[in-house]
Structure 1
Amino acid sequence: MEFDLTGQPEIVQLAAGYALQIWEIAKSWALSPAAWSQFALLVLAYVLAVIAAARLRGTLTRLLTPAAEAESIIARSRRTVLMFLPLLLPLLAYVFTAVGESVVRSIFDSGAVIAFGKRVFLFLAVRTLVRDIISDPLLKLLGKYVLIPIAAIYALGLLDAVSAKLTETTISLGNISFSVMSLIRGLIAGSVLFWLGGWSNRQSAQFIESQQDMRPSLRQLIAKVVEFSIFGIAFLLLMNIMGINLSTLAFIGGAVGVGLGFGLQKIASNFISGVILLIEGQATVGDYVELDGGESGRIVKMTARAAILETFDGRWIVVPNEDFITTRVVNYSDSGSANRYEAPFSVSYDTDINRVPALIEAAVATHPGVLNEPYPPDCELRGFGDSGIDFAVEFWVNGFDDGPNKFTSDVLFLIWNTLKENDIEIPYPQRVVEIKGGVPDLAS
């Protein structure tokens, strides 16, 4: 039966032509003895693949499964290889079918049926890869809507025709021109490249952070340089894969330069300030800082534009890097330096104050967080108050007195217990009230 499709759109005519070709191929396969022998070889290859995969899967699982507590590079690599075991069956079927294809072509000088079966097994391998192995959301989306359709087109033997059509279709943006095929190729390559870039960046950042002999600020600087290098190389590779001449992007560089000179100067200033901070090491991740505006907190992250402070009430404060350069910043941590604090207290006027300094200094020195260097605890007489004699004990600790460390609170407990044990009275406010004119007679 023939249909007149001359009045239909080009895409309908093209689809009808492909459908007619597929129908003619199917009829030739159904009536050809060589085709039936190829079908038999396909079934045999699949059965052999099922048997071999069943035997190999158990052996490979035992050999590749590391100990549960192992976290070495080899152990992680073995776990990664185990993830790909679902591909064993379709890939073995593909290999056995390829062997059968070479045999069939040597006998019948034809292997279209078995070649189609081989492509189908490859499609099944791609489908298994996307469905059961890939877990990254971006790669899974790319595989579902790009990789699987491409594998299906390849299985049908239409990849060359579709590729040629997509290559002929071009898109122009100003003086940049590229084909739809290069755009699809760039989408696939870009997704893979930037995923690999993100993975490489995470691995390199973990390795750099493990180098404890380096200053924290230097580790941060090296990590940032590696990150920019990785994604810069990925971008250049992507442009090369898409076939875009980098010289055509010169006008974009000029526009970016103008933007940096006007609208983006603050971003550029913060970026340069961040590099200076990382080089000089004046403030780094983990330091507790107080800014000129009164904001204070621990630096939990330093980005190219800003530093993020976490306060002890759980808030995050985003501080531009430029503020660390142009304003006064107090760094209480300074990579682990000691800080001095003091705890004030008072004793009664009936106390022999000559005993107090030695008792308090000895008590405070027992605290595990109090240091003897640069100075041991020092109890000083501060003055004579309205209700008692004022003292204060100064002590040095590593870190700062807040958050998980309550040094002053612990020291005040030690002072209280020491004074009580030595029968030294802690005064409370006292007032003398004088009533002039005598006490009124309440009975009347």
Structure 2
Amino acid sequence: MDGQPEIVDKVLGYLMQGWEIAQGWLLSPAAWSQFALLVVAFFSAWVVTRRVSPVLKNILTPPEEQTHLFAGLRLFVLSFLPLLLPLLAYLLTAVGEEVTRSLFGSGAVIAFGKRLLLFLAARALVNKIVKDPFLRLLGKYVLVPIMALYALGLLPLATTYLSETIIRLGNISFSLMSLVRGIIAGSVLFWLGRWSNDQSASYIQRQKELPPATRQLAVKAAEIVIFGVAFLLLLNIMGINLSTIAVLGGAIGVGLGFGLQKIAANFISGVILLLEGQATVGDYVALDGGEAGTIVKMTARAAILETFDGRWIMVPNEDFITTRVTNYSDSGSANRYEADFSVSYDTDINTIPAIVEAAVATHKDVLDKPYPPDCELRGFGDSGIDFSVEFWVNGLDDGPNKYTSDVLFLIWNALKDNGIEIPYPHRVVEIKGGLPTA
């Protein structure tokens, strides 16, 4: 076997060492007694689990009508029931280990069994308990392999190898162990940050006594604080000097200040919008550039408008500060609309306002305040007398709402019921010189 690569020699050495250990276990009465204790401990744990699990389920399962915090806590504890078997077997095995060490002075087999039970507990945790997709992925590809190495007794060798393997990038050098530690810690920290951010955002949005703009600003502030703390903790875990980061961050900040002026302007504009509250989620706005729609989301860089035809428009926050913005639904204020119509010259126009105002007032969405429906004479047209009725509603005359159309229907029916003619254009054609002869 001479002349083999170093890695092959190491693997063969580990295999030979494992074979020697296996031979020692197979030929040792102490090893067989420890194996018997493992079987007894696992079987006893299995019997106890079968008897105890139904009782624990009945105790911990809350009634369906209960939704309070204590009921949620009971369900959370109940979700860990699949760990009962491996953990109970682990405890019984630990008792058996003390017995075998006192009798034989050895407990290698039973110690291996304990590590194997912890591996089974980790698999049960990942496969049966964890529901979050990211945490399940992390457990499947990080926790389970680590516990497998621990069960086989190879975890110290793996950590030593990773710690001694140094990666150099110019003047920067770090070990593979620090890289792995950073990836794992970063994944966990930023998952916790995302979860904490979701919980804090949900709590803040439930505080209906706060104005919508204040709630949105508090959500953004909480998000910045949570992920900022997570980033600093990650740097500390990886052993990176924060003073070095401060100097490097200053240099990067100067470069970003010149190269990303628009992004900085949009971010600051977003903060100003949230502080002033002149435009917030749920408002229907129209900008000078022609963009119009309901604000469905406000991010650090832009506001997202949804039009009535289902399109989403991303408008930079800076446009809300530097251009003229018309807000049609600020603070839930009502909007005024007009519906034009004409009547014949044969009509007694003095009766028209009362008839039309009474008809329009029957619409369920037309308001009496700030002003009731108001019918006004607008002029004398070529074919008829022109009127217009003004009415106020809480909403926009577009999309699902058809206020002007509904009002015109009411006007039509009211005029027809009162025998009032709605004119149409008439033309008189004069033929000079008479009609031509055939």
C-alpha change, 1:41 and 1:422, in structure 2 (3 Å) is: same
Q: Distance in 2 between matches of 1:333 and 1:437?
A: 63
Shift of 1:397: 1.4
Range that drifts further, 76-85 or 327-336: 76-85
Give 2:408's aligned residue: 412
Residue type at the aligned position of 1:125: A
Shift of 1:76: 4.1
The reply to whether residue 261 of structure 1 matches residue 257 of structure 2 is yes
Once the two structures are superposed, residues 333-355 of structure 1 have per-residue CA deviations (whole angstroms, 9 ceiling, x without a partner) of 11311111111111111111111
Q: Distance in 2 between matches of 1:329 and 1:38?
A: 80
Once the two structures are superposed, residues 48-84 of structure 1 have per-residue CA deviations (whole angstroms, 9 ceiling, x without a partner) of 2222222333233333334556554444444444433
Shift of 1:173: 3.9
Shift of 1:246: 1.8
Match of residue 199, structure 1, among 195, 202, 217: 195
Shift of 1:176: 4.2
Residue type at the aligned position of 2:21: I
Residue type at the aligned position of 2:395: G
Shift of 1:105: 2.4
Range that drifts further, 97-106 or 370-379: 97-106
Q: Distance in 2 between matches of 1:142 and 1:290?
A: 46
C-alpha change, 1:380 and 1:131, in structure 2 (3 Å) is: same
C-alpha change, 1:72 and 1:174, in structure 2 (3 Å) is: farther
Give 2:272's aligned residue: 276
Match of residue 185, structure 1, among 181, 185, 189: 181
Residue type at the aligned position of 1:271: F
The reply to whether residue 241 of structure 1 matches residue 241 of structure 2 is no
Give 1:363's aligned residue: 359
Once the two structures are superposed, residues 394-433 of structure 1 have per-residue CA deviations (whole angstroms, 9 ceiling, x without a partner) of 1111122222222222222221221122111111222222
Q: Distance in 2 between matches of 1:299 and 1:372?
A: 28
Give 1:231's aligned residue: 227
Give 1:16's aligned residue: 12
Match of residue 145, structure 1, among 130, 141, 152: 141
Match of residue 309, structure 2, among 307, 313, 320: 313
TM-score of the pair, normalised by structure 1: 0.93
Give 2:373's aligned residue: 377
C-alpha change, 1:33 and 1:167, in structure 2 (3 Å) is: same
Give 1:346's aligned residue: 342
Give 2:59's aligned residue: 63
Give 2:119's aligned residue: 123
Contact in 2 for aligned 1:221/1:275 (Cα 8 Å):
yes
Q: Distance in 1 between matches of 2:69 and 2:63?
A: 13
Once the two structures are superposed, residues 86-126 of structure 1 have per-residue CA deviations (whole angstroms, 9 ceiling, x without a partner) of 33322222222222223322333321111101111111121
Once the two structures are superposed, residues 121-150 of structure 1 have per-residue CA deviations (whole angstroms, 9 ceiling, x without a partner) of 111121222233334333333222222211
The reply to whether residue 292 of structure 1 matches residue 288 of structure 2 is yes
C-alpha change, 1:30 and 1:180, in structure 2 (3 Å) is: same
Give 1:328's aligned residue: 324
Shift of 1:277: 0.4
Q: Distance in 1 between matches of 2:189 and 2:65?
A: 32
Range that drifts further, 293-302 or 52-61: 52-61
Aligned with 1:342: secondary structure? strand
Q: Distance in 1 between matches of 2:17 and 2:31?
A: 17
Q: Distance in 2 between matches of 1:155 and 1:16?
A: 20
Give 1:95's aligned residue: 91
C-alpha change, 1:342 and 1:79, in structure 2 (3 Å) is: farther
Match of residue 429, structure 1, among 409, 425, 432: 425
Give 1:168's aligned residue: 164
C-alpha change, 1:35 and 1:375, in structure 2 (3 Å) is: same
Q: Distance in 1 between matches of 2:74 and 2:387?
A: 65
Residue type at the aligned position of 1:313: D
Once the two structures are superposed, residues 311-368 of structure 1 have per-residue CA deviations (whole angstroms, 9 ceiling, x without a partner) of 0101110000000000000011113111111111111111111111112112222222
Aligned with 1:308: secondary structure? strand
Size of the aligned set, in residue pairs, is 438
Q: Distance in 2 between matches of 1:360 and 1:51?
A: 84
Residue type at the aligned position of 2:328: Y
- Percent identity over paired residues: 72
Q: Distance in 2 between matches of 1:430 and 1:171?
A: 92
Q: Distance in 1 between matches of 2:334 and 2:196?
A: 37
Q: Distance in 1 between matches of 2:68 and 2:425?
A: 65
C-alpha change, 1:171 and 1:251, in structure 2 (3 Å) is: farther
Match of residue 25, structure 1, among 18, 21, 28: 21
Q: Distance in 2 between matches of 1:208 and 1:73?
A: 18
C-alpha change, 1:77 and 1:252, in structure 2 (3 Å) is: farther
Residue type at the aligned position of 1:342: E
Shift of 1:384: 0.9
Residue type at the aligned position of 2:138: L
The reply to whether residue 393 of structure 1 matches residue 360 of structure 2 is no
Give 1:85's aligned residue: 81
Contact in 2 for aligned 1:299/1:309 (Cα 8 Å):
yes
Once the two structures are superposed, residues 285-331 of structure 1 have per-residue CA deviations (whole angstroms, 9 ceiling, x without a partner) of 11100001111000001000000000010111000000000000001
Match of residue 398, structure 2, among 378, 396, 402: 402
Q: Distance in 2 between matches of 1:383 and 1:78?
A: 75
